[in-house]
Amino acid sequence: MSSNFYAEKTPDAVKNAKGLHLITSLTPNGRKVHILLEELKDVYGLEWTTSLIKLETKEQKKDWFLKLNPNGRIPILVDNTQNPPHTVMESSAELVYLASTVDKDYKFWFSDPIEQSEAYQWLIFWHASGQPIQGQYNYFRRNTTDPNSHATERFRDEVLRVYRVLEAHLSGKHTGRSRKYLAGPGEGTYSIVDINAWAWIRTYRSIGLPEDEIAGLPHLGQWVDRIADRPAVQRGSGERYDEEVHPELLIRTD
Ligand SMILES: N[C@@H](CCC(=O)N[C@@H](CS)C(=O)NCC(=O)O)C(=O)O
């Protein structure tokens, strides 16, 4: 490994990790990567290590962290098997990196260029049009005293619009063919495209959306429940990565 790749203050857990190491927090963007790691463990026996940071301590704005990700946000995937080590920022790019380096049998991704093109469309659709909007909606609904503030309403309406696009895709409203998963031929096959969006949409029944709007998303609801049943999904989004349960995973440099 290159000697100046890490900073002096980079925690040992990161620089001494033998293989893949995920620096993260218990958020939807962090969870999606843990879910794929758990899926890859079930299929390929993949091993990795994890460090958690508390976002309120601003560890993600410190020099050692910015050297790995100048965007100062989690999650970051570090691959110490590469020389120099390879870092990946942006959670969806981390899913793609893991799919292309570990998932040799295409259990969670697609080898066919047309299927891959379709998968990228839905992956990027959620990354660009779903998660930033839901993130802003969460911010305003938690931090304004007026639940009907202009900002809250605007982001809630846009979250609902994006959910309706996914509902139409899954129900086959425009194609006449319903699907179980967001990408893949026929009714679709479970892939990183689903993991990417599910980590956020899993909570859709409890984020303050109107009941009649929730009732209007039956296919999305079935998709959420179908993915929630997977053991790797339950492990990846469960208490195994909860800092309250596993304080030994927390890193803090001062
Ligand atoms: N587009 C990025 C978003 C990353 C992001 O917003 N991370 C949040 C937590 S989910 C974060 O680090 N927030 C702390 C901060 O901004 O300081 C991704 O998909 O990885």
Residue having the nearest C-alpha atom to atom 12 of ligand 1: 73
Residues 188 and 149 in one domain: yes
Residue 3 domain-assigned (yes or no) = no
Regarding the beta carbon of 60 and ligand 1, being less than 6 Å apart is answered yes
| Same domain assignment for residues 153 and 48 | no
3 state DSSP class of 254: coil
DSSP string over 22-58: EEE-SSHHHHHHHHHHHHHHHHH---EEEEE--GGGT
Q: Is residue 212 part of a domain?
A: yes
For the domain that residue 24 is a member of, what is the CATH number? 3.40.30.10
Structural domain harbouring 159: 113-230
54 CB near ligand 1 (under 6 Å): no
- Quick one: which atom of ligand 1 is closest to the CA of 127? 19
| pLDDT tens for the 254 residues of the chain, in order | 445 899 999 999 999 999 999 999 999 999 999 999 999 999 999 999 999 999 999 999 999 999 999 999 999 999 999 999 999 999 999 999 999 999 999 999 999 999 999 999 999 999 999 999 999 999 999 998 887 899 999 999 999 999 999 999 999 999 999 999 999 999 999 999 999 999 999 999 999 999 999 999 999 999 999 999 999 999 999 999 999 999 999 999 98
Same domain for 132 and 74: no
212 and 197 within one domain: yes
Number of domains in the chain: 2
> How many whole angstroms from 100 Cα to the centroid of ligand 1?
23
